[in-house]
Copies of this chain bind each other. A is one copy, B any other.
Amino acid sequence: MTNEQAASRFEHDYECYENVAATIGVIGGKWKMLIMWHVNQGSIRYNELRRSIPGISQKMLSQQLKELEQDGIIHREVYPETPPRVEYNITDYGHTLDPIFDLMDAWGETHRQTVGRGRTP
């Protein structure tokens, strides 16, 4: 392999790495999978989510919801009533992640059976 080929290969690798890292950055948060899963079932409110995800703190729920919203994965709808109501939904863009989830679900299932127990972040 020439130096040029090596360099171009490295750049391609690095591109792919950045792409995959970006994807993990969006969906890799400690609670994001769980949050997205519930939001994926349909409109859900803040405290409903909180109850649905045992162990999550308000802080992390708010933070990760905000990140998912900023990344365009979920939509936040505020209804100016009293008491206030906020509903979260998956966006069309969020649905583009579905194929990845399906693959990861399948792979993770096999892996968990194979290894018995993996690192869970």
Chain A interface residues toward B at CB < 8 A:
9-10, 13-28, 33-34, 37-38, 41, 52, 67, 71-72, 93, 96-97, 99-101, 103-112, 114-115, 118-121
Contacts and interface: CB of A to CB of B under 8 A. Distances in A.
Given A28-B121, A100-B104, 17 more contacts: A9-B41, A10-B52, A16-B33, A16-B101, A16-B105, A18-B112, A19-B108, A19-B112, A20-B108, A22-B108, A23-B105, A23-B111, A25-B120, A71-B119, A97-B107, A100-B100, A100-B107
Contacts of A15: 109
A19 B109 CA distance: 5
B23 A108 contact: yes
A26 B104 CA distance: 11
Total copies of the chain: 2
A104 B13 contact: no
A39 to B, nearest CB: 11
Given A28-B121, A100-B100, A118-B71, A111 B22 contact: yes
